[in-house]
Amino acid sequence: MLDKTIPFAKLYMRRKAGTPIQVFPLPENFKFVYYKDGDESDWAKIEASVEEFDSEFSALMLFKETFITHVDELYRRCLFVENSDGKKVATATAWWSVIDDKRRAWLQWVSVAPGFQGLGLGKAIVSRVTEILLELEGDVDFYLGTQTWSYKAINIYKKIGYEPTDEKKLYGWKRRNHYKKALKILERVVISR
């Protein structure tokens, strides 16, 4: 879950080309599955459950606007974790952006449903999707966008080789990088918790 008790600041992170990927296996009774038609409702449910969206409907709208136009890519880029009952409980996507004619590889929309957090699913899916990025995009810099409200996830990203970056214009003008502000907030959070 997002910790909205601390100040918000957007932060981008980068895994530099050549950085080894720390691999974390899934715990027993869980498995990775790729997106198949109809899974967008599970994606929206997971994303809304962690408060990335105020409703499943708004999550579903973003999914359709962003991903459905490239549905063939979803089959090899959108990953879920399923439990032994076949319920999807975590997700992450290996995507890309093109800004100013420059293509960048992105780890996007990493979420683990409440009730399944703290089991190692986040580390496992982030490491696996980072490997997928390596397979599909080559050994280039990989990026992800996060926020201070996700400070626990930031620790996971760092374990897998991502570090905060102060680069600008990474994913469009609407999503500014509040690098300095974010680092100050995160420093206070680490000290106080």
What is the CATH number for 150?
A: 3.40.630.30
Is 4 within the bounds of a domain? no
Is 2 within the bounds of a domain? no
Is 74 within the bounds of a domain? yes
CA geometry: angle 75, 78, 79, nearest 5 deg:
110
Task: Work out the pLDDT band at 173, boundaries 50, 70, 90.
Answer: very low
Residue 100 zone, left/alpha/beta (φ > 0; ψ -120 to 50; rest) = left
User: What pTM did the predictor assign?
Assistant: 0.93
How does pLDDT run across 110-125, given as a tens digit for each residue? 999 999 999 999 999 9
Residue 36 — φ and ψ, nearest 5°? -135, 160
Q: How many Cβ atoms from other residues are within 10 Å of residue 38's Cβ? A: 7
Q: Where in the sequence is the domain holding 105, given as residue range(s)?
A: 10-192
Please provide the DSSP assignment of 94-140 as one string: EEEEEETTEEEEEEEEEEE-TTSTTSSHHHHHHHHHHHHHHHHH-SS
How does pLDDT run across 86-113, given as a tens digit for each residue? 999 999 999 998 887 889 999 999 999 9
Is 3 within the bounds of a domain? no
How does pLDDT run across 32-91, given as a tens digit for each residue? 999 999 999 999 999 999 999 999 999 999 999 999 999 999 999 999 999 999 999 999
